[in-house]
Amino acid sequence: MAADIAYLQQTQQDINQLQDLLERQRQAYRANPMPAAGQRQQWLKSLAKLLIDEQQTIIEAISRDFGNRSADETLLAEILPSLHGVHYARKRLARWMKPSRRAVGLQFMPAAAKVVYQPLGVVGVIVPWNYPLFLAIGPLTGALAAGNRVMIKMSESTPATAQALKELLGKVFPEDLVAVVQGEVEVGVAFSKLPFDHLLFTGATSVGKQVMRAAAENLTPVTLELGGKSPALVSASVPIKDAAERIAFGKSLNAGQTCVAPDYVLVPQQRVEAFIAAYRDVVQGFYPSIEDNPDYTAIINERQLSRLNGYLSDAEAHGATLVPLLPGASGRRLPQVLLLNVNDQMKVMQEEIFGPLLPIVPYQRLEDALAYINARPRPLALYYFGYDKSEQEQVLAHTHSGGVCLNDTLLHVAQDDMPFGGVGPSGMGHYHGHEGFLTFSKAKGVFSKPRFNAARVIYPPYGKALQKLVYTLFIR
């Protein structure tokens, strides 16, 4: 009972502090509403140095939260792309900030037009548990590049990372510039209700709906990076090992706990057995064993492990055949499993998997595979494996997804010069690189006239000869 009371008191205290923190950041923004390029570049330089200097601290914190996260996966999938994103923005920031000249119609001359990119103010960022560093630093980079103040709500499922990031960012940024918020679900709900100038959420589609509903009360613009069931499509002609190896990497990284991980794979009916054999060989080559293997990342917590095991039990009960690929392991290291004979009644085919389970769906013709994809909600990513250019164009033209990789998985997310974002149920809005700068900026149109005012010819009273001449010249 005493523990429950203490929990409630701490949660309420955390919630009460949110509004004060927001107001302090607003005051700091009002005192410096248009930070110069040099100041923003210094912010980004400090952020990059922090990531380099404290990488071991970050690796250890994330691994504690997961119960084992491969150090190399944290380096490859979190620290490296975070650093590249910071460097990319810092190099191009001055150019992004320059007002862009726009055309003025002859009928409005003499005049000039431009677009000025102005910081929005205070940006809120809600971070999921699966990539707690990259999905905090990526939005932070874009928001700082655009000149904003930032409040970051970390996931309650990664408390060690949240505490480490709070301490590390606190070393280089004052809290009225960058603040890390910790706390349980109730704090996250209260965070989403704050009147931010922009709110970016990364997480499940179901939670994204709640976040958008809360933000609507304040008319807060939102960027939603959601998930969904991202398909991998194997063509009839691609070398089967090429496809199996690259899909296996995408499904193995972080034990499949990736929003753009392949969620199911469409394979030509006559190639299913060959794909299974090739996929098994690849996975067993990646992980000769998983017991005490530091390369094999664990499932984040018991709740997520129970959910995944529930998917397996439900699939078996509905007629699926399970093909385990690795010997079992204790704790939360869940072996990779292929699922055959799947159908839409199974939870594994209804929900985003977010784990090392991979359903295989056979198809007869490419058109059948595309119809299968298009009959379902639009995914965050789509992966096509085949070197035939005409088939590649067919897939691109006849499907919708947040992003696409041709003959690879995941790596489109790490391309700083491309926007990242979902479509429909998999999200809205974009960030990364220049798109991140634009998302966190107000593109303000500025129309400027000199002392001479040619527009007086259209002022009332109407019916004058010059007005009629304007209509004759321009309404045609």
**What's 438-449 look like in SS3?**
HHCEEEEEEEEC
- Confidence class for position 16, pLDDT limits 50, 70, 90: confident
Beta bridge partners of 464: none
Query: Could you report the per-residue pLDDT of 186-220, keeping only the tens digit for each?
Result: 999 999 999 999 999 999 988 999 999 999 999 99
pLDDT for res 429? 95
Give the 3-state secondary structure of residue 153.
strand
From 386, 428, 382, 391, select the one nearest 409 (Cα to Cα).
Answer: 382
Q: Are strands 222-225 and 427-428 parallel, antiparallel or unpaired?
A: antiparallel
- Which residue in this structure is represented by tokens 């998985």? 409
> Cβ atoms within 10 A of the Cβ of 30, count?
9
| 108 close to 448: Cβ distance less than 8 angstroms | no
Query: Could you report the per-residue pLDDT of 335-379, keeping only the tens digit for each?
Result: 999 999 999 999 999 999 999 999 999 999 999 999 999 999 999
Query: Could you report the per-residue pLDDT of 108-165, keeping only the tens digit for each?
Result: 899 999 999 999 999 999 999 999 999 999 999 999 999 999 999 999 999 999 999 9
Query: Could you report the per-residue pLDDT of 229-259, keeping only the tens digit for each?
Result: 999 999 999 999 999 999 999 999 999 999 9
| Direct distance between the N- and C-terminal alpha carbons of the chain, in angstroms, rounded to an integer | 79
Give the 3-state secondary structure of residue 233.
strand
* Rounded Cα distance, 259 and 352, in Å: 8
Task: For residue 259, indicate whether it is catalytic.
Answer: yes
pLDDT for res 466? 82
Directed axis angle between helix 185-192 and helix 205-216, to 10°? 50
What's the mean pLDDT in 283-308? Answer: 94
The answer, yes or no, to whether residue 75 has pLDDT greater than 80, is yes
Task: Work out the percent of the chain whose per-residue pLDDT is above 70.
Answer: 98
Query: Could you report the per-residue pLDDT of 18-27, keeping only the tens digit for each?
Result: 999 999 999 9
The answer, yes or no, to whether residue 7 has pLDDT greater than 70, is no
Task: For residue 225, indicate whether it is catalytic.
Answer: yes
Q: Which entry of 259, 352, 405, 435 is annotated as an active-site residue?
A: 259
CATH 3.40.309.10 assigned to domain 231-416? The reply is: yes
The CATH homologous superfamily for domain 2-226+428-443 is Aldehyde Dehydrogenase; Chain A, domain 1 (3.40.605.10)
The answer, yes or no, to whether residue 227 has pLDDT greater than 90, is no
* Rounded Cα distance, 439 and 431, in Å: 6
What's the mean pLDDT in 297-325? Answer: 96
* Rounded Cα distance, 211 and 218, in Å: 12
**pTM above 0.85?**
yes
Give the 3-state secondary structure of residue 402.
coil
pLDDT for res 463? 85
pLDDT for res 84? 97
- Confidence class for position 12, pLDDT limits 50, 70, 90: confident
CA distances from 42 to 87, 141, 142 (A): 11, 12, 14
Query: Could you report the per-residue pLDDT of 399-414, keeping only the tens digit for each?
Result: 999 999 999 999 999 9
**Could you tell me how many residues make up the chain?**
476
The answer, yes or no, to whether residue 330 has pLDDT greater than 80, is no
Which strand (E) or helix (H) includes residue 323? strand 321-324
Cα 401 from chain centroid (whole Å): 13
pLDDT for res 465? 85
* Rounded Cα distance, 414 and 402, in Å: 14
pLDDT for res 359? 98
Domain ranges of the chain: 2-226+428-443, 231-416
Q: Is the C-alpha dihedral spanning 25, 118, 123, 149 positive or negative? A: negative
pLDDT for res 5? 65
pLDDT for res 9? 63
pLDDT for res 106? 86
Q: Which entry of 54, 78, 225, 245 is annotated as an active-site residue?
A: 225
Beta bridge partners of 232: 265, 383
The answer, yes or no, to whether residue 177 has pLDDT greater than 80, is yes
pLDDT for res 3? 61
> Cβ atoms within 10 A of the Cβ of 443, count?
10
Directed axis angle between helix 37-53 and helix 134-145, to 10°? 160
